[in-house]
Amino acid sequence: MSRVKWLSWILLAGGLAVIACDRDKDSTAQNTNVSASAPAIQPLNFPPDDGPLPSADGDRAMQYVKEIVKFGPRPLGSASHKKVEEYISTHLKGDQVEDDIFTADTPEGKFPVHNIIAKYPGTKDGIIIIASHYDTNYPLRNTSFVGANDGGSSSGLLLELANHLRGKQRDGYSVWLVWDDAEEAMKPDGSGGQPNEMPFSADSLYGITHLAEKWQADGTLKKVKAFILTDMIGDADLNVERETNSTPWLEDVVFEAATRLGYQSHFFARRLEVSDDHLPFLKRGVPSVDLIDFTYGYNVAYWHTTEDTIDKLSPRSLQIVGGVVLETLRILDKMDPLPPK
């Protein structure tokens, strides 16, 4: 994932705000309004819970994650990156796939970027996007950093979600799975005060920004009803944040889905603002949610370190997030109309 602007955790039970550190002082951070109370939103009318509830195969998702991680570090421009592109595409054989390939001009030079989009058509007019980045941190390219959780977990989960969407006539919105590329900043993340650091907003999210711009230009974006981002969701100790940039009503749908499945204790105990792949869609008015668990190890001990390895993950966490995303889709399909943007 990208960056936490404010590592400000609100312990909801006690209403206690703990500001652990402020890593990013760019202007958007000033717009952050983290509060201990729930956002004021209209109560949603959820469709009846008429089952059967979906279930993702956590073991199969974990196998995909392991296979992705086995390729080693997959920074932009590397041979292993190319292999992961092929790995994902091979698993989507027979599906309707769009390859969005372009050259990104980054502070480290020009790099090929490859977004992979698998499209599963539905009967309703509109698209729901589920996304994950698959590249690994470029500044760590010469280390053993494999991003098992950061990029690996969600990319494997999306392959599992494809298994649930493939070959079925969806009685709902079209679903597009997006394995986006070049999410990671190319320079160190700006938190260390080094002279060669870039402002985060100018050096990240290359792939997903390209897609948002392209789909805005060709009119596709108007059809996108919701953007669901998954990132760092494999931690065995799963605690998905209520991410404060995200659209509150869409987070409420996610929480309803988690509650129906009995997984609500893994969701939204903390509030945290994260800069991530949902921002380009949010900025263009698309309801968006970032499903991310940023407490990885003690505090953020494993994030962007060589400790981000497969042994920290569990199939159960992939099963939980997979099930919640599938149930979120089922609820969105039946909510008519969806809340306004």
Contacts of 230 (CB under 8 A, 6+ apart): 130, 131, 132, 154, 157, 158, 291, 292, 321, 325
100-to-18, 30, 113, 193, 225 alpha-carbon distances in Å: 41, 34, 8, 34, 21
47-to-5, 50, 52, 334 alpha-carbon distances in Å: 35, 8, 14, 6
Window contacting Zn ion (CB under 5 A); options: 76-84, 106-114, 142-150, 268-276 = 142-150
Helix (H, G, I), strand (E, B) or coil at 294: coil
76: tokens are: 């932009």
> How many amino acids of this chain bind Zn ion (CB under 5 A)?
2
Task: Give φ, ψ of 24 to 5 degrees.
Answer: -140, 120
Minimum gap (Å) between residue 185 Cβ and Zn ion: 8
Compare residues 216 and 275 and give the one whose CB is closer to Zn ion. 275
Question: Rounded to whole angstroms, how far apart are CA atoms 75 and 140?
Answer: 8
Compare residues 1 and 291 and give the one whose CB is closer to Zn ion. 1
Minimum gap (Å) between residue 188 Cβ and Zn ion: 12
Compare residues 8 and 153 and give the one whose CB is closer to Zn ion. 153
Minimum gap (Å) between residue 173 Cβ and Zn ion: 29
Compare residues 58 and 151 and give the one whose CB is closer to Zn ion. 151
Compare residues 150 and 290 and give the one whose CB is closer to Zn ion. 150
Burial of 44 (0-12, 13-18, 19+ CB in 10 A): middle
Window contacting Zn ion (CB under 5 A); options: 6-14, 55-63, 147-155, 314-322 = 147-155
Question: Rounded to whole angstroms, how far apart are CA atoms 175 and 288?
Answer: 14
* Residue 37 neighbours by CB distance under 10 Å: 8
**Which residues in 23-52 contact Zn ion (CB under 5 A)?**
none
Question: Rounded to whole angstroms, how far apart are CA atoms 268 and 64?
Answer: 26
Window contacting Zn ion (CB under 5 A); options: 36-44, 73-81, 97-105, 149-157 = 149-157
Beta bridge partners of 103: 112
Compare residues 1 and 279 and give the one whose CB is closer to Zn ion. 1
Minimum gap (Å) between residue 126 Cβ and Zn ion: 30
Q: Is 235 in the site for Zn ion (CB under 5 A)?
A: no
Minimum gap (Å) between residue 114 Cβ and Zn ion: 18
The structure tokens 């499945």 sit at: 261
Minimum gap (Å) between residue 150 Cβ and Zn ion: 4
273: tokens are: 């603002």
Compare residues 1 and 117 and give the one whose CB is closer to Zn ion. 1
Question: Rounded to whole angstroms, how far apart are CA atoms 248 and 41?
Answer: 7
Minimum gap (Å) between residue 184 Cβ and Zn ion: 5
Closest CA to 188 of 177, 201, 197: 197
Window contacting Zn ion (CB under 5 A); options: 23-31, 115-123, 148-156, 233-241 = 148-156
Using the rule CB under 5 A, which residue among 85, 150, 308, 327 binds Zn ion? 150
Helix (H, G, I), strand (E, B) or coil at 2: coil
Using the rule CB under 5 A, which residue among 1, 117, 175, 212 binds Zn ion? 1
Compare residues 62 and 274 and give the one whose CB is closer to Zn ion. 274
248: tokens are: 């509150």
Compare residues 69 and 332 and give the one whose CB is closer to Zn ion. 69
Question: Which spans of this chain sit near Zn ion (rule: CB under 5 A)?
Answer: 1, 150
